[in-house]
Amino acid sequence: MAVEPSNDAQFLQNINQGKVVVKFFADWCGSCKLFAPKFKRLSADERFKGILFVEVNAEQNPEARKQAGVNTLPYFAVYKDGKLVDGLSSSKEEAVVELIQKIV
């Protein structure tokens, strides 16, 4: 499954689509850029079939950032049926996998 871009206008619609993992990033964030191919690979992982992978530019979308409680980048949040389950700031793939498994 591909990673879908989102913004403040689409964010609530995205997170209400069942199981969703969101990556918050900024263009200037080196760790965010390094994690981008890992996030794309995770979106295609069979373990996470049926989960929507979304990315949001945290600087351009303050409402989405506020809703998820983002304070450090990259930041990952998992939602189930529109409700925030958990979130974390990490550059480690293993930590993000553990986070995603909370909504499998």
Active site residues: 29, 32
Residue carrying the six token digits 């760790």: 31
Terminal alpha carbon distance of the chain: 15
Residue 24 · residue 54 · CB < 8 Å: no
For residues 70 and 48, what is the distance between their CA atoms, to the nearest angstrom? Answer: 23
Q: Which two tokens stand for residue 62?
A: 């303050």
Q: Which two tokens stand for residue 54?
A: 């979304």
